[in-house]
A and B are shown apart, each in its own frame.
Chain A
Amino acid sequence: MDRSSAQALIRFGLGPRGGEPAPADPTAWLLAQLHASDRPAIAPFPSTARGLTTLRADRENKPPPGKSASRALFRSEAQAELAHALTTRAPFRERLVWFWTNHFTVSVRAGAVAPLAAAFVEEAIRPHVTGRFQDMLLAVMHHPAMLLYLNNAGSVGPDSPAGKRGHRGLNENLARECMELHTLSPAAGYTQADVTAFAAVLTGWSIDLRADPPGFRFRPFAHEPGSQIVMGRHFPPGEAGGIEALEFLANHPATHRFLAAKLACHFVADSPPPDAVRRIEAVLRETRGDLGAASAALVHLDAAWPPGTKLRTPQDLVVATLRLLDLPEDHRPNLLGTLGGLGQPFFAAPQPNGWPDHAADWAGPEAMLRRIDWAYAVSGRAPQTDPHAMADAALGPLLRPATAMAMHRAGSRREALALLFASPEFQRR
């Protein structure tokens, strides 16, 4: 394995999988993944209808805390999503799925999200990771997981028929986070009036839990009448006005700039060189937000190929370790418990801005020690492994002589493996 093959597997992918040959042509291997579609082998396949039906049943049956059908559905689907990451042959594509899922964070810290989280990924994110940003944004903003997480489902126009009856009114949470976190970013200079107007545009974007199947529903009765002005543009009333506003936000130059910076931060370095950001921004602008083209442009950036500029997040680290060990399914550690213990519980980001993507946010002293503790624990699950063959498969030429030497001197296979997993070159990507 040469350096660029290792880098393709580690930086763009999720780490090499035990027993699989390294790609002969790394660039071609990455680009080919952008043209293939994928569908994880999850049975039954996650669906919003099933998630909402489960949520409805829980609301009727009121099970004790921790015993809800929603949590059970979340656990099984979340395990399946992680298992897919451990085995997929399109790991670059999977990394893009994670990137965009984090960009559009929904979190099970809001209980209603739990039975919808996997469906959100499979319906709103995965189909669009190499499509147009506008289509992903529309799918996300129509998705019940997001409408519940950021409280839009109950937002009512004050002058709508429902609003005039009293009791209810605007909730601007989704509108604000959509502008701040999903599209423009505050650098665009929008005002409180823009947020309020956009919240009015989104009134009526709601959920019908009683329908069969339950799902998204636009409620004209709750929609604020009249057109609205957001950032100087008029948008007509109705669901169409919301779609128009989202298309405007998706293709705004500030959105392209913001997305380019985030992508470069993920694939180049915590502080990427400005010309790398400008290159991605230009591709997004010229293609009106073609995420496949932007992903290909990342592969073609020279700045994305020096190794080790990024610290692996706990999720990256766990998945890379387990892909490498390739343990039989019944021999893997509990993935959800592991991620929680390492400080990145799956689908449970504390806030709507998602998990951070800078080394400083993950390099707390206790966080680092927990990684070491976990490296030692998981190394005990692979007693027959040849640590040196594993080190070669994991890192190829990126393995440092100091690490190889320490592994040679280790008193046991388990300790040798733990040294590999705790080494700086394995902690980085």
Chain B
Amino acid sequence: MLTRRSALLGLTTAVTLGRVSLAVAAAATEQRLVVVLLRGALDGMAAVVPYGDPALGELRGALLPPAAGQPNGLLDLGGFYGLHPELTGLHAMYRANELLPVHAVAGPYRVRSHFEGQDYLESGTDHRLTSGWLNRAVQALPGTTAARAKDAALSIGVEVPLLLRGAARVGSWAPPGRVTVPPALYTQIAKLTRTDPVIGPAVREGLQGRGFSSAIMAGDADPGRDRYAFPALAKAAGELLHAADGPRVAALELVGWDTHVAQTPRLTYVLRQLDAGLVALKAALGPAWQRTAVMVMTEFGRTARINGTMGTDHGTASVALVLGGAVAGGRVLADWPGLGAGKLFEDRDLAPTTDLRAVVKGVLAQHLGLAEASLRQVFPGSGGVTGIPGLIRA
């Protein structure tokens, strides 16, 4: 039987299988929060195209989709920006006032290394920490006692991303394999590994997580070959978050954004996965979608100009997407820096005008009720960065 206690014992799970992974954490809230990390640097200007900027054509000509209204053309977002033609599910959410793209966004990091960039994005600082900002946010939720936070973590996938590592415990769900191990053997192995500081907790939380998730996922038909694809894991995340006793926080990852070469076909594939996954997440959440905020973010953007191989190199500002039934969407938020002469950052990248931490702080404060003092612990050294108001419906 699934009890509240067993749910709280699950709570942070992750699997990295192929190109995607998912981790979830329980938390003392009825609100749902999902973070999607796009590893490899999404080209923000390709996902949300600033077609109204007169300098865009010269920088991007060959990479631009047809104009809005034409076959396979941009999906218009109110006259200046357009969504990539693959993002039809997101466009429907925009029209339902559930999607809020935030453009020209970057964290505090400026060096253009993926690996440092991802570490700092997940740490929530300009240096690497051993815990992630999302784990710290779970611990800081109002009503979370120390004891409860310690028990607060189920994970979906094999690895737990840095984003969710930290003091809130990490447990697991992954699509089932084929071996059936005798339960008594699991128990013996749990005992045998108990004293190992790394293996012991992982085995214990893994077993709790599996028991918890299999109870929720029991009715699910085997999704077959595509069970590790992003839409399948996004659907699983939605089902786990939807459950009354389920986790409240999930992190998903999708790689494949590092489009140095042949950007158009490569982006088409990953954007389609992203769009289908977010649609599946919404469907699986059911009524809980109204209490959900999703943040989609990447470590940095890409060069404003096409490079020598019909792609783009590492850049600075990109786009972040905030979506969900709880989000005050239907508009694009940006202090648009422009693309003309002298406007690019270091004469190559979209200039950052909004700090990504201001977006996340706004969502954490308005959606989860985190106080300013807590936000400063979630993002150390961010005292000068204020949360953006009005991201969540009043």
Report whether B307 and A418 are in contact in the complex, using a CB–CB cutoff of 8 Å: no
Of the candidates A158, A364, A419, which one forms a contact with B192 in the assembled complex, judged by CB atoms under 8 Å apart?
A419
* A351-B255, A365-B209 given; A169·B189 CB < 8 A: no
User: What mask results when residues 158 to 181 of chain A are scored 1 for a CB within 8 Å of chain B, else 0?
Assistant: 100001000011111100100011
Interface membership of B16, Cβ < 8 A: yes
Interface membership of A343, Cβ < 8 A: yes
With the chains together, A402 CA to B195 CA distance in Å?
11
Residues in A with CB closer than 8 Å to B182 are 415
Report whether A364 and B255 are in contact in the complex, using a CB–CB cutoff of 8 Å: no
Query: What is the size, in residues, of chain B's interface with A at 8 Å between Cβ atoms?
Result: 63
Report whether B198 and A311 are in contact in the complex, using a CB–CB cutoff of 8 Å: yes
Q: Please name the residue on chain A nearest to B15 by beta carbon.
A: A366
Of the candidates A343, A345, A364, which one forms a contact with B202 in the assembled complex, judged by CB atoms under 8 Å apart?
A364
Interface membership of A406, Cβ < 8 A: yes
Residues in A with CB closer than 8 Å to B255 are 350-351
Report whether A350 and B16 are in contact in the complex, using a CB–CB cutoff of 8 Å: yes
Report whether A172 and B16 are in contact in the complex, using a CB–CB cutoff of 8 Å: no
Report whether A376 and B309 are in contact in the complex, using a CB–CB cutoff of 8 Å: no
287-315 of chain B: CB within 8 A of chain A: 307-309, 311, 313-314
With the chains together, A423 CA to B192 CA distance in Å?
6
Q: Please name the residue on chain B nearest to A400 by beta carbon.
A: B192
* A373-B181, A424-B192 given; A368·B202 CB < 8 A: yes
Q: Please name the residue on chain A nearest to B228 by beta carbon.
A: A340
Residues in A with CB closer than 8 Å to B157 are 364, 366
Interface membership of A353, Cβ < 8 A: yes
Report whether B309 and A155 are in contact in the complex, using a CB–CB cutoff of 8 Å: yes
Residues in A with CB closer than 8 Å to B195 are 424
Residues in B with CB closer than 8 Å to A367 are 15, 158-159, 202
Report whether B170 and A365 are in contact in the complex, using a CB–CB cutoff of 8 Å: yes
Report whether A171 and B13 are in contact in the complex, using a CB–CB cutoff of 8 Å: no
* A186-B116, A364-B202 given; A376·B308 CB < 8 A: no
A interface, how many residues as a size bin? Answer: 35 or more
Of the candidates A368, A376, A415, A427, which one forms a contact with B179 in the assembled complex, judged by CB atoms under 8 Å apart?
A376
* A361-B159, A368-B202 given; A173·B313 CB < 8 A: yes
Residues in B with CB closer than 8 Å to A172 are 307, 313-314
Interface membership of B28, Cβ < 8 A: no
With the chains together, A192 CA to B192 CA distance in Å?
51
Residues in B with CB closer than 8 Å to A360 are 130, 165, 198
With the chains together, A418 CA to B182 CA distance in Å?
11
Interface membership of A19, Cβ < 8 A: no
With the chains together, A158 CA to B179 CA distance in Å?
56
Interface membership of A89, Cβ < 8 A: no
Of the candidates B40, B155, B203, which one forms a contact with A351 in the assembled complex, judged by CB atoms under 8 Å apart?
B40
Residues in B with CB closer than 8 Å to A335 are none
Of the candidates B115, B170, B202, B307, which one forms a contact with A171 in the assembled complex, judged by CB atoms under 8 Å apart?
B307
User: Closest approach, in angstroms, between the C-beta of B75 and any C-beta of chain A?
Assistant: 29
Residues in A with CB closer than 8 Å to B40 are 351
User: Closest approach, in angstroms, between the C-beta of B215 and any C-beta of chain A?
Assistant: 16
User: What mask results when residues 310 to 345 of chain A are scored 1 for a CB within 8 Å of chain B, else 0?
Assistant: 010000000000000000000000000000011101
Interface membership of B167, Cβ < 8 A: no
Of the candidates A170, A351, A369, A427, which one forms a contact with B172 in the assembled complex, judged by CB atoms under 8 Å apart?
A369
Report whether B203 and A369 are in contact in the complex, using a CB–CB cutoff of 8 Å: yes
With the chains together, A351 CA to B254 CA distance in Å?
12
* A168-B309, A364-B14, A415-B182 given; A369·B159 CB < 8 A: no
Report whether B206 and A368 are in contact in the complex, using a CB–CB cutoff of 8 Å: yes
Residues in B with CB closer than 8 Å to A163 are 308
Interface membership of B70, Cβ < 8 A: no
With the chains together, A169 CA to B308 CA distance in Å?
3
Pick from A155, A186, A350, A361 the residue with the most CB of B within 10 Å: A350
User: Closest approach, in angstroms, between the C-beta of B8 and any C-beta of chain A?
Assistant: 15
Of the candidates A173, A195, A351, A366, which one forms a contact with B14 in the assembled complex, judged by CB atoms under 8 Å apart?
A366
Residues in A with CB closer than 8 Å to B17 are 343
Q: Please name the residue on chain A nearest to B191 by beta carbon.
A: A406
Report whether A364 and B155 are in contact in the complex, using a CB–CB cutoff of 8 Å: yes
User: Closest approach, in angstroms, between the C-beta of A407 and any C-beta of chain B?
Assistant: 10
Interface membership of B261, Cβ < 8 A: yes
Report whether B13 and A365 are in contact in the complex, using a CB–CB cutoff of 8 Å: yes
* A171-B260, A350-B16, A367-B158 given; A186·B113 CB < 8 A: yes
Residues in B with CB closer than 8 Å to A169 are 307-309
Report whether A151 and B159 are in contact in the complex, using a CB–CB cutoff of 8 Å: no
Report whether B179 and A374 are in contact in the complex, using a CB–CB cutoff of 8 Å: yes
183-229 of chain B: CB within 8 A of chain A: 185-186, 188-189, 191-193, 195-196, 198-200, 202-203, 205-207, 209-210
Extra contacts besides A154-B309, A173-B260 (4): CB < 8 Å: A359-B198, A365-B202, A418-B189, A422-B193
